[in-house]
Each structure stands twice: as C-alpha cells, then as structure tokens.
C-alpha cells in the first residue's frame, strides 16, 4: 500500500532573499545591522574634544594606579 502524503503541504519553491530575512527576523529578531561598523561614521566623542571614546575613557579609568 503506498503511503499517503499526509496533512503536510507540498514543499514550497525556493524563497526569495527578503522572504528568508523576514522569516529569520520572526524567529531570531533583527540582530544584525545592515552595515558594519567600518561602513558607518564613528560615534560622537561625547563632547570631550579629545577624540577619545567613552569606552576608551572607561578603560583608562579602570587601570590600577601602579600600572599608570
């Protein structure tokens, strides 16, 4: 006796890129930006005028005095 295909629908055709992105965004959320950090303008310096980022300032503040 041949097996019946069951309640599943036939396999869909190939999905387009935007359909795949939409499906993945539904499952995982929109986690990756469209551009990479080297393609974007650098973040503002926070008004210090030194060209130092907030992360760099924080790291320098965490250095123990005997390493300074």
**How sure is the predictor about 11, in pLDDT bands with cuts at 50, 70 and 90?**
low
Candidates 68, 44, 67, 63; CA nearest to 54 is 44
pLDDT in tens, 22-48: 888 888 886 667 788 888 887 665 555
Q: What does the DSSP 8-state code read for residue 48? A: -
Cα–Cα distance between 53 and 60 in angstroms, integer?
11
CB 48 within 8 A of CB 58: no
pTM of the predicted protein model: 0.28
């Amino acid at each position: 006796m041949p097996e019946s295909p069951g309640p599943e629908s036939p396999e869909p055709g190939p999905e387009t890129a935007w359909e795949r992105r939409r499906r993945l965004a539904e499952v995982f959320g929109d986690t990756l930006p469209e551009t990479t950090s080297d393609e974007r303008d650098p973040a503002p310096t926070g008004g210090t005028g030194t060209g130092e980022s907030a992360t760099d300032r924080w790291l320098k503040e965490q250095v123990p005095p005997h390493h300074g």
